[in-house]
């Protein structure tokens, strides 16, 4: 099964947008006013949810056609972006366990893509 370039681009875009959704949720969570009402008032959280919704729309469009063996690893790239942003924006340290653990997750997602063919 061939995978259209447009599908790859959509999934890649979705993983990228989704990783910024995670960043916004973290930004919002760090400045959360008390109570559930505080959660609903936070524009950072609202932006995070919006980016998640946007990324899911892109995912649905991208995963419609093409091989999951190709597309699943692109989905999992979202974890790589998020690790980079957490270092860049929140100064969280990289360490060996994070990088190795993430590598195992990526290979694992690739295998699930293979199994879902």
CB of 53 to other proteins, least distance (A): 10
Residue 115: Cβ-neighbour burial (10 angstroms; 0-12, 13-18, 19+): exposed
Question: Any residues with CB less than 8 A from the CB of 76 and at least 6 apart, and which?
Answer: 15, 105, 106, 109, 110
Return the number of the residue (5 or 30) whose C-beta is nearest other proteins. 30
The secondary structure of residue 66, as a DSSP letter, is S
CB of 10 to other proteins, least distance (A): 19
CB of 65 to other proteins, least distance (A): 17
Return the number of the residue (7 or 26) whose C-beta is nearest other proteins. 26
Q: 3-state class of 91 per DSSP?
A: coil
Residue indicated by tokens 């370039």: 5
Q: Could you list the residues that contact other proteins (CB under 8 A)?
A: 22-23, 25-26, 28-34, 36, 39, 45, 49, 52, 76, 79, 82-83, 85-87, 90, 92, 94-98, 100-105, 107-116
């Amino acid at each position: 099964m061939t995978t259209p370039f447009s599908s790859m681009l959509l999934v890649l875009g979705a993983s990228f947008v989704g990783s910024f959704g995670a960043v916004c949720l973290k930004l919002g969570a760090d400045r959360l006013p008390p109570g559930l009402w505080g959660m609903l008032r936070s524009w950072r959280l609202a932006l995070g949810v919006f980016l998640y919704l946007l990324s899911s729309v892109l995912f649905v469009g991208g995963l419609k056609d093409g091989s999951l063996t190709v597309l699943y690893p692109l989905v999992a790239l979202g974890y790589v972006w998020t690790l980079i942003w957490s270092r860049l924006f929140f100064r969280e340290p990289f360490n060996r366990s994070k990088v190795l653990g993430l590598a195992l997750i990526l290979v694992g997602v690739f295998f699930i893509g293979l199994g879902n063919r």
